Amino acid sequence: MKQRAVRSSAVAVVVLCACLTTGCVERRYTIRTDPPGALVIVNGEEIGPSPASKSFYYYGNREITLIRDGYKTQTVIEPIPAPWWDNLLTEFFTENLIPYSLRDEREYSYKLEPAAPTPEGALRDRAEGLRAESRTLPPPRRGGFLGWLGF
């Protein structure tokens, strides 16, 4: 009886140790620009000035927008493919059973192009066009019950 209790407690300790030593996968990407300091926006979320890093959980495409004064705003669709060890068949093992952490760090670099100065005449013509467009009244809304509903 005593031997059975010792054996079951030893099994419990082994199972507990196995659960505590499970691995994990750390995913992170870093975006660098030339010149540095551009505002980095990924999928509509502002990350910060470059170089900017962010952790992520899922692979796939990211829409990266880079903004800096004096340079053209650049928008890029950047694919982040999964590594060979993180696919549908092996993901359970790499996330749960491997007793150490796996790191997947990606680095992306972009060169920003200087913005061409806009001719003053073209800028003024555009501003006048927008001003004239803002002075026109929108079409009237419907009255009655449909108008009350917002149609």
| Per-residue pLDDT tens digits for 34-76 | 999 999 999 999 999 999 999 998 889 999 999 999 899 999 9
Q: Write out the residue range of the structural domain in which residue 78 sits.
A: 20-132
Q: Has residue 72 been placed in a domain?
A: yes
Q: Has residue 137 been placed in a domain?
A: no
Q: Has residue 83 been placed in a domain?
A: yes
Q: Has residue 14 been placed in a domain?
A: no
Maximum C-alpha span of the chain: 97
Q: Has residue 69 been placed in a domain?
A: yes
More confident residue, 26 or 25: 26
Q: Has residue 11 been placed in a domain?
A: no
Strands 101-111 and 24-34: parallel
Edge-to-edge strands, sheet with 45-49 = 45-49, 39-42, 60-67, 74-80
Q: Has residue 53 been placed in a domain?
A: yes
Q: Has residue 32 been placed in a domain?
A: yes
Going by pLDDT thresholds of 50, 70 and 90, the confidence category of residue 138 is confident
Is pTM, for the whole model, over 0.85?
Answer: no
How many structural domains compose the chain?
Answer: 1
Do 59 and 80 form a contact (C-beta atoms < 8 A)? yes
CA–CA separation, 56 and 31 (whole Å): 13
